């Protein structure tokens, strides 16, 4: 099966600063992913024409099921994380990862009814400081809603903001996860026009990685300020 993780930057191009959600759709649909983990998805925000992006993306990408988590509330609307799935979502949990007074962050936890069996998927967007990210990962793994389905094969994906590539060593390896987006040098995804950091990462447990890569096409470099990460795996 194929998972695509993508910070879509509200549908605003990283280079031209134009709002073009259709570019995001074209970049995603060419890969035919079964599972899509998106970050920075707008709903009812002026900069994105008051579009309901979760609904528009679910329809355009023919999702069988979806789950949206609004983390940042603006004067009008807000933005957050979105999971789209080819198969039904049996469980939909949302957890706040906000540390003290820092910017609101969050994680989605869903259980997908795949043809290979149940799969636990976490979609998140982490903070800018290493201390914050370590706290967020530990908070997630200790949370009762994560523990509810931790025995299932699990994949964690999203915008990690982990410039120094420390998360696997500091947190994930100790919980039995494999780094699916390694080595970092081959998975640089930000900024899209000249990628220097492997910020978009995936980690798997009780799963077999087949292939992972970052989409570096010209359309992808224009659609957002991040490039999408594509991961092929089996349970």
Dig out the tokens for 227 from the structure: 């490039």
If 0-12 CB within 10 Å is exposed, 13-18 middle and 19+ buried, where does residue 18 land? exposed
- CA-only gyration radius of the chain, Å: 16
Strand partners, 36: 4, 84
E strand or H helix at 142: helix 130-142
C-alpha to C-alpha distance for 15 and 17, rounded to whole angstroms? 6
Contact 212, 33 (CB under 8 A): no
What is the C-alpha separation between 26 and 101, in angstroms, rounded? Answer: 37
Q: Is the peptide bond before 183 cis (omega within 30 degrees of 0)?
A: yes
pLDDT of residue 214: 98
| pLDDT score of 15 | 87
Tens-of-pLDDT digits for all 235 residues of the chain?
999 999 999 999 988 999 999 999 999 999 999 999 999 999 999 999 999 999 999 999 999 999 999 999 999 999 999 999 999 999 999 999 999 999 999 999 999 999 999 999 999 999 999 999 999 999 999 999 999 999 999 999 999 999 999 999 999 999 999 999 999 999 999 999 999 999 999 999 999 999 999 999 999 999 999 999 999 999 9
Q: CB 179: neighbour CB atoms within 10 A?
A: 20
Q: Which residues of 189-220 are buried (b: 16+ CB within 10 A; e: fewer)?
A: bbbbeebebbbbbbbbbebebeebebbeeeeb
0.95 cut: is pTM over it? yes
- pLDDT given at position 16: 93
């Amino acid at each position: 099966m194929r998972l695509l993780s993508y910070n879509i930057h509200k549908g605003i191009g990283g280079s031209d600063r134009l709002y073009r959600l259709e570019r995001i759709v074209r970049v995603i649909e060419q890969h035919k992913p079964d599972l899509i983990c998106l970050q920075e998805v707008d709903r009812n925000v002026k900069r994105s024409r008051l579009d309901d992006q979760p609904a528009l993306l679910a329809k355009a990408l023919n999702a069988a099921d979806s789950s949206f988590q609004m983390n940042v509330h603006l004067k009008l609307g807000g933005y957050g994380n979105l999971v789209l799935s080819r198969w039904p979502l049996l469980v939909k949990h949302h957890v706040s990862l906000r540390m003290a007074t820092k910017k609101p962050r969050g994680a989605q936890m869903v259980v997908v009814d795949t043809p290979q069996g149940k799969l636990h998927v976490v979609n998140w967007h982490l903070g800018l400081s290493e201390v914050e990210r370590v706290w967020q990962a530990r908070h997630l793994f200790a949370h009762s809603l994560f523990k509810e389905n931790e025995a299932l094969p699990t994949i964690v994906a999203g915008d990690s903001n982990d410039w120094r590539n420390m998360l696997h060593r500091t947190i994930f390896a100790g919980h039995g996860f494999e780094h699916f987006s390694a080595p970092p040098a081959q998975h640089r995804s930000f900024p899209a026009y000249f990628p220097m950091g492997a910020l978009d990462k995936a980690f798997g447990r009780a799963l077999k990685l087949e292939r992972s890569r970052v989409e570096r096409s010209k359309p992808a470099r224009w659609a957002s300020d991040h490039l999408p990460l594509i991961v092929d795996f089996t349970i």
